[in-house]
Structure formats: C-alpha cells, structure tokens
Amino acid sequence: MSEEFQASRPIYMQIADKIKQQMIRGELLPGNKLPSVREMAVQSGVNPNTIQRTYSELERMEIVETKRGQGTFVTENEGAIHQLKLGMQMDIIELFVHNMKELGLTEEEIISGLKRYFNGRQEIKND
C-alpha cells in the first residue's frame, strides 16, 4: 500500500525526513545511489514532481549529489552526515524539552524523569 502521510506537512518534506533517517541509521551509506525519481514515486505512491522536489531539497542541504546521467547519490562527505545526525537529534531534544517545560518541569525533573523511564524499562526487560 501507499504510505500514510501527516496532513499538516508537505509530502516532499516527509519523504526527505525518511531518507535522512535512513542515512543516519546507516541504511543508506555515503556514495550509495538513491532510487530513481520514478522508482521512488512508485515505491511511495507519490507524484514524481514531489520526489523531484525532495531530491532538490536534499541536494540544497548538500547531503546528496546528482550526477548527470547517472542518478542521485548520498554524499561521500561523512562530516555532512554526522552534522545531519547531530542536527536531527537536536531537533528532537528541543521539541521534547519544550513540551516538558510546557508542563512546568524543571531541568532536574526532566533529567530524573528520563532516568526513571530508562530504569523502569530496564526492570521490565529483566523480569
């Protein structure tokens, strides 16, 4: 089936995020070729113009390169991928901290809450 997309964000960004996650997890390695625009469109059930826009966006961020007549490739620049990883981590942390502060929690409470959460999960695993 075609993928589900969130209503409130452009589809080209949601696909870009998915590709970025694959790079960070190492499922797409430096120098790897991305599927062609058409293949990607069929895989995700999405308009080819949207995929084109996704690829342009990734290119603008300098994490992929399009080689004329050959296709689109993950950058060989591992530093760029590392930066991407740090950037995405930071985004998630900022969102989390923002939400916790909305609840009125202090930094100490957030940290101890996180510790309790991980310890709790550990205990469940050990049971």
Partner 1 sequence: MIEFKNVSKKYGRDIGLVDVSFSLEKGKIYGLIGPNGSGKSTTLKIIAGLVHFSKGTVLVDGIPVDRRIAKKVAYLSELDMFYQPFKVKDMIDFYASQFEDFRMDRANELLSFMKLDPDKKLKQLSKGNRGRLKLVLAMARDASVLLLDEPFSGLDPMVRDSIVKGLLSYIDYENQTVIIATHEIDEIEPLLDEVLAVKDGKVIDRQNVEDLRETKGLSVIQWMKETFKE
**List of residues 6+ apart from 90 with CB closer than 8 A:** none
Residues 40 to 69 in contact with partner 1, rule: CB under 8 A: 41-42, 44-50, 53
Taking alpha carbons only, the member of 40, 5, 45, 42 closest to residue 22 is 40
Provide the 10 A C-beta neighbour count for residue 40.
Answer: 20
- Any idea what the Cα angle at residue 20 is, between residues 25 and 48, rounded to 5°? 130
Q: Strand ranges (DSSP E) for the chain?
A: 64-67, 71-74
Q: Interface with partner 1 includes 7 (CB under 8 A)?
A: yes
Which residue's CB is nearer to partner 1, number 31 or number 45?
A: 45
Q: Interface with partner 1 includes 18 (CB under 8 A)?
A: no
Which residue's CB is nearer to partner 1, number 30 or number 59?
A: 59
Region binding partner 1 by CB under 8 A among candidate stretches 9-17, 79-87, 97-105, 112-120: 9-17
Q: What SS3 class is residue 58?
A: helix
Region binding partner 1 by CB under 8 A among candidate stretches 38-46, 60-68, 91-99, 106-114: 38-46
Least distance from partner 1 to the Cβ atom of residue 71, Å:
17
Interface with partner 1 (CB under 8 A):
1-3, 5, 7-12, 38, 41-42, 44-50, 53
